Amino acid sequence: MRPPSLRLRLGLGLGLHLGLLLAGSAAAAGPAPGIKLNQIGYLPQASKLALVPAAPGAGAAFDVVTADTARVVLQGRLGGPTNWAPADDTVRVADFSALRTPGRYRLRVAGQPESDVFTIGADSYRALDGAALKAFYFNRSGTALAARHAGPYARPAGHPDDRVLVHPSAASGTRPAGTVIAAAHGWYDAGDYNKYIASSAISTYTLLAAYEHFPQWFAKLETGIPESGDAVPDILDEAMWNLDWMLAMQDPEDGGVYHKLTNLRFDAMVLPHEAMREPRYVVAKSTAAALGFAATMATASRVLAGQEQRWPGLAARTLAAAERAWAWAGAHPALPFKNPPDVVTGEYGDVHLDDEFAWAAAELYITTGKDSYYAALAPEAVSATVPAWDDVRGLAWMSLAHHRNRLGPGADRALIASRVDGLAARLAAEWRASGYRVAMRGADFVWGSNAVVLNGAMMLLQAYRLNGKRDYLDAAQSNLDFVLGRNPLGLSFVTGFGARTPQHPHHRPSLGDAVAAPVPGFVAGGPNPLQQDRAECPPYPSSLPGLSYLDHACSYASNEVAINWNAPLVYVLGALSTLTPGEASMPPTDYSLAQLQRQEDLLQFDSFGNGAALDIGLKLVALARVEGKAVAVEIRRNGMLLFAHGMDGTAPDHADWIRRKSNLVNRTGHSSYYMHAQVKADGGDIDAMPTFDAREYAAHGGAFPVRVRGTGLVGSITVSGLPGVEDHALVVRALQDYLGVNGAL
Ligand code: G3I
Ligand code: 9MR
């Protein structure tokens, strides 16, 4: 898109208000008119809220109607009027969560224009999540984007970074100033063409964590990048593009990490290949860079451990790199980054380094199991906050929470649970009390506020995974809704997705190309009352936190895009799609014998006590409950019954199935579904196995062996009530979750 004219093209409503303002009106522009809701859509069982302006004398009822025939499918009453201070807007909430039937709808309220069309559907977020991930591809440095992958956004390669200079601030004995090194690949940070370790670390980690936590969803998220179709999920290929660059930012001599790779000044607003006259430098090492690097590499080592065929030796290499960077940071514990006088590109300066130390220690501990890292983490002193590039302690908690059941005996699991729950409880309380039903206070509206909203959602979802409190899921959904249109501007902040989206993001590729629409899938920074770009922009429509936004290319403080703002969107869409009841139950199609064997290899215990049986039993019941399913569960160790429960809707018959399925486990050592698959593979009859009496044994899925490492088979976990493959999958999911293991499903 060519540089825009001064005419601001905001959403319809705001555009009007702003037009008045620019025409000389003294009044500050208010919120966009009309009903505000998530312009993309909802999963069937999600919480679904819309905001209706609280006009005096207006009706208190709403209808949901089908988009095509205007047939009324749901009627409801609006909540009471509530003011939301960040936009000084008084609204009433329309809660239409009860509508679960897939379709396309609108909301109708007397005296208001009809709402935008929204969808309800089981796969509402797949295309958006694919686009949010594809945005990283669109920001790849050092490669041409071919039309078959980039469509109209194809472009020649820019910034190969195969010959960059060591800046005087980064000079060392072996690499004096002016030394030429290679640090190719990586993503452009944002709307600029520079590459920074601080934002790279949190972004790359968040993509790796998304895969680590929701492998099924992300394994199937195809984005049409050059690597699509290889043996590795696209999200890992994409992460690897940046890991490659990050690895090159470590000085092989001492393990220190350069803070950034940039020009001395920002490039013009042109395409990458038109912006290559300026020399590029690696600039000063910093403690924050070393620690962000260490945390990301330790995570990569763990998450990519299963990809040895594609990237031989990578797990070992990234771990070694992480440990060297950690050691360097230990020797240089207080080296904050400050731009040298001749460098004016993004600073990402951060003087508070406790959180970076905690995050790196946590990831290194999880990956290596070394107690020295747990000691360095000193978790009692670490609080939980919403992550940002300069506050990463929340990432430590989210990783610890995911891996809690396979941490060493010294790790304080109760502390992990209470930190994650404590943060979520605070956010959920804000969400409940907020007129806009979003977990954001005025002070949260900073540069990149949309990432604060999305990272808040990500942390709420960590707590939901731990304890299944529905408020946390609903609050996370609400935060997503805010970014997708339920905000005072009435805009969906993701380019190309929604009824009204940013048209002029501060993004050089979008500005330099000939395409009118900006590159799709990017989250715009969002409202930011500090307005640090005000000297370079037309006036903002308002000084209120929630309204300080300009859809203008000048506005890097409210309308830039950035990798660390897109990463939590990628995470949250996958997490909600997986965790929202009903959606997690994507019925397992089937498992090969090799997969079933792998499950038995992966899902083993270090010890199996009565408490473990109780936790797993309760987890099974909870999983079934959120999916609206009724199952009976039994867990035994050496024949002794440790857990038994029949949910409402189960029958005595299930106990007999459990007995016969678990007998098969005890006899064969394999899961009953493994035996089922084996008998079928051999062409046999599962209900008439030649060597097993059908009154005592059943080759149907649902019973899984409890194996303790070093001891062997000690018991069984059995579910009955669903088709065999689903009973089996439920046990595998519960065990994966309990053991903090991935890759079994
Ligand atoms: O740390 C202070 C805090 O103590 C204070 O209370 C608060 C309110 O004044 O400000 C905090 O500092 C803010 C800092 O971010 C940390 O959050 C600054 O005001 C704010 O200006 C600063 O914004 C950063 C901006 O760069 C300018 O440095 C953004 O977070 C950061 O996302 C952004 O990143 C840029 C890169 O530099 C260059 N590439 C594009 C990228 C995205 O715009
Ligand atoms: O394009 C730059 C953007 O990526 C940064 O976030 C922002 C703040 O550091 O700076 C932008 O560059 C502007 C510079 O700061 C001031 N002159 C105009 C530049 C382009 O708008």
User: What average pLDDT does the segment 96-116 reach?
Assistant: 96
pLDDT tens-place string over residues 104-113:
999 999 999 9
pLDDT in tens, 232-274: 999 999 999 999 999 999 999 999 999 999 999 999 999 999 9
Query: Which residues 6+ apart lie within 8 Å of 66 measured at CB?
Result: 73, 103, 104, 105
Domain assignment present for residue 310? The answer is: no
Index of the ligand 2 atom closest to the CA of residue 347: 9
Please, what is the Cα angle at 425 between 423 and 428, to 5 degrees?
110
pLDDT band per the 50, 70, 90 thresholds, residue 737: confident
Q: What is the band of 504 on the pLDDT scale with cuts at 50, 70, 90?
A: very high
* 480: pLDDT strictly greater than 70: yes
Domain count for the chain, please give it.
1
**Are 469 and 463 in contact, with CB atoms under 8 Å apart?**
yes
Residue ranges around ligand 2 (CB below 6 Å)? 190-192, 266, 346, 536, 556, 560
pLDDT score at 323: 98
Q: For residue range 460-479, list pLDDT tens digits in order.
A: 999 999 888 899 999 999 99
Length of the chain: 745
708 burial level (CB within 10 Å; 0-12, 13-18, 19+): middle
What's CA 145's distance to the chain center, in Å?
Answer: 25
Between the CA of 556 and the centroid of ligand 2 the distance, in Å, is: 6
Q: Is the pLDDT of residue 443 over 50?
A: yes
How far, CA to CA in Å, does 221 sit from each of 41, 232, 240, 550? 18, 11, 16, 32
Kind of pairing, strands 72-77 and 118-120?
unpaired
Average the pLDDT over 123-132 and give the result: 97
**Region 215-226: what's the mean pLDDT?**
96
Q: How far is the CA of 189 from the centre of ligand 2 (A)?
A: 12
- Based on the residue annotation, tell me whether 390 is a catalytic residue of this protein: no
Residue nearest to atom 2 of ligand 2 (CA): 192
pLDDT of residue 741: 64
Q: What is the mean pLDDT of residues 64-91?
A: 97
* Range of weakest confidence among 292-296, 364-368, 418-422, 467-471: 467-471
Residue from 187, 537, 554, 556 whose mutation best tests the ligand 2 pocket (most atoms within 8 A of CB): 556
At 6, the pLDDT band (50, 70, 90 cuts) reads: very low
Strand-pair category, 89-95 with 49-53: antiparallel
Rounded to whole angstroms, the Cα distance separating 270 from 480 reads 32
**Are 105 and 116 a contacting pair, CB within 8 Å?**
no
Q: Average pLDDT over the chain, rounded to whole? A: 93
Q: What is the pLDDT of residue 523?
A: 98
Q: State the ligand closest to the CA atom of 450.
A: 1
Token pair 């005996």 is found at: 409
- Backbone torsion region of residue 233, taken as left when φ is above 0, otherwise alpha when ψ lies between -120 and 50, otherwise beta: beta
Active site residue 551: yes
Identify whether 221 is part of a domain. Answer: no
Q: Sorting pLDDT into bands at 50, 70 and 90, what band is 588?
A: low
Whether the per-residue pLDDT at 213 is higher than 50: the answer is yes
d(C-alpha 24, C-alpha 279), whole Å? 44
Q: Is residue 368 part of a domain?
A: no
Pocket test for ligand 1, best of 188, 446, 454, 556 (most atoms within 8 A of CB): 446
Give catalytic status of residue 560 as yes or no.
yes
Residue 585 lies in a domain: no
- For the ranges 525-539, 638-652, 677-691, the lowest mean pLDDT is seen at 677-691
Poorest-confidence range of 57-61, 74-78, 137-141, 347-351? 57-61
What beta strand segments (E) does 67-130 contain?
72-77, 82-84, 89-95, 103-108, 118-120
SS3 731: helix
Residue 687's pLDDT band, with cuts at 50, 70 and 90, is confident
Greatest Cα pair distance, the chain, in angstroms, is 90
Atom number, ligand 1, closest to the C-alpha of residue 448: 32
Q: Specify if 606 maps to a domain.
A: yes
- Taking the CA of residue 562 as reference, the ligand 1 atom at the shortest distance is 42
385-413 mean pLDDT: 95
Query: What mean pLDDT comes out for the span 103-122?
Result: 96
Q: Give the number of the atom of ligand 1 that is nearest the alpha carbon of residue 347.
A: 37
Say what percent of the chain tops pLDDT 90: 87
Angle between helices 393-402 and 197-213 (to 10 degrees): 20
Does residue 641 lie within any of the structural domains? yes
164-166 and 281-285 strand pairing: parallel
Q: How remote is the CA of residue 493 from the centroid of ligand 1, in Å? A: 19
What is the percentage of the chain residues whose pLDDT exceeds 70? 95
Which atom of ligand 1 is found nearest the CA of 451?
Answer: 32
**What's residue 466's pLDDT?**
87
Q: Taking 60 as the threshold, does the pLDDT of residue 3 lie above it?
A: no
Q: Provide the token pair at 19.
A: 């037009």
- In the reported structure, the alpha carbon of residue 542 is separated from the centroid of ligand 2 by a whole-number distance in angstroms of 22
Q: Which range is least confidently modeled, 300-304, 311-315, 560-564, 579-583?
A: 579-583
The confidence band for 24, taking pLDDT boundaries of 50, 70 and 90, is very low
Is residue 510 situated within a structural domain? Answer: no
Strands of 258-262's sheet in order across: 180-181, 164-166, 281-285, 258-262, 195-196
φ, ψ of residue 14 in degrees (nearest 5): -65, -35
Query: Is the pLDDT reported for residue 529 higher than 50?
Result: yes
Given a contact cutoff of 8 angstroms between Cβ atoms, the answer to whether 541 and 21 are in contact is: yes
**Euclidean distance between CA atoms 238 and 301, whole angstroms:** 15
> What span, in angstroms and rounded, lies between the C-alpha atoms of 17 and 287?
46
Residue 698: domain span: 593-739
Distance 354 CA to ligand 2 centre (A): 29
**Is 164 within 8 Å of 282 (Cβ atoms)?**
yes
pLDDT given for residue 19 in this prediction: 36
What are 706's strand-pairing partners?
715
Q: Which range among 264-273, 302-311, 453-462, 578-587 shows the weakest confidence by mean pLDDT?
A: 578-587
Q: Which of 260-264, 503-507, 569-573, 692-696 has the lowest mean pLDDT?
A: 692-696
**Joined tokens for residue 250:** 């470590």
Secondary structure (3-state) at 225: coil
Rounded average pLDDT over 291-298? 99
pLDDT at 17 over 80: no
Round to whole Å and give the CA distance between 59 and 89.
18
Q: Give me the catalytic one of 167, 506, 654, 670.
A: 506
Atom of ligand 2 nearest to the CA of 506: 1
User: 38: which strand partners?
Assistant: none
Instruction: Please answer whether residues 19 and 549 qualify as being in contact, where contact means their C-beta atoms are separated by less than 8 angstroms.
Output: no
Which ligand is the nearest neighbour of the Cα of 524? 1
| pLDDT for 595 | 87
Looking from the CA of 176 toward its CB, the CA atoms found within 13 Å total: 0
Ligand number nearest to the C-alpha of 554: 2
Q: Which of 216, 64, 214, 45 is nearest to 122 (CA)?
A: 45
CA distances for 372 relative to 57, 326, 366, 408, angstroms: 66, 12, 11, 12
Any domain includes 668? yes
pLDDT digits (tens, 9 = 90+) for 312-338: 999 999 999 999 999 999 999 999 999
Q: What is the pLDDT of residues 162-192, one digit of tens each?
A: 999 999 999 999 999 999 999 999 999 999 9
What pLDDT, on the 0 to 100 scale, is given for residue 710?
86
The predicted structure's pLDDT at residue 271: 98
Quote the pLDDT of residue 589: 65
* pLDDT value at residue 233: 97
Nearest CA to ligand 2 atom 12: 266
Which ligand approaches the C-alpha of residue 337 most closely? 1
How sure is the predictor about 709, in pLDDT bands with cuts at 50, 70 and 90? confident
CA of 382 to the centre of ligand 1 (A): 23
Residue 513, phi then psi, degrees to nearest 5: -90, 180
Residue 557 Cα to ligand 2 midpoint, Å, equals: 9
**Domain containing 716 — which CATH number?**
3.30.450.150
Q: Which residues have any ligand 1 atom within 6 Å of their CB?
A: 189-190, 192, 346-348, 390, 446-448, 530, 532, 556, 560, 562
Does the CA dihedral 677-680-686-690 come out positive or negative? negative
Ligand nearest to the CA of 508: 2
Q: Which one is catalytic: 551, 583, 634, 727?
A: 551
**Catalytic one of 192, 212, 421, 474:** 192
- Residue 739 pLDDT > 70, yes or no? yes
61: number of Cβ within 10 Å = 13
Q: Within 10 A of 333 (CB to CB), how many other CB atoms are there?
A: 12
Predicted local confidence at residue 28, as pLDDT:
67
Instruction: Please calculate the CA angle 427-430-436 and round it to the nearest 5 degrees.
Output: 120
272 Cα to the center of ligand 1, angstroms: 24
The per-type count for the chain, helices as H runs and strands as E runs, is 22, 17
Instruction: List the catalytic residue out of 212, 481, 560, 727.
Output: 560
- Dihedral angle computed from the Cα positions of residues 501, 504, 507 and 510, in that order, rounded to the nearest 10 degrees: 90
Which among 337, 338, 447, 564 is the best mutation to test ligand 1's pocket, defined by most ligand atoms within 8 Å of the CB? 447
CA of 270 to the centre of ligand 2 (A): 13
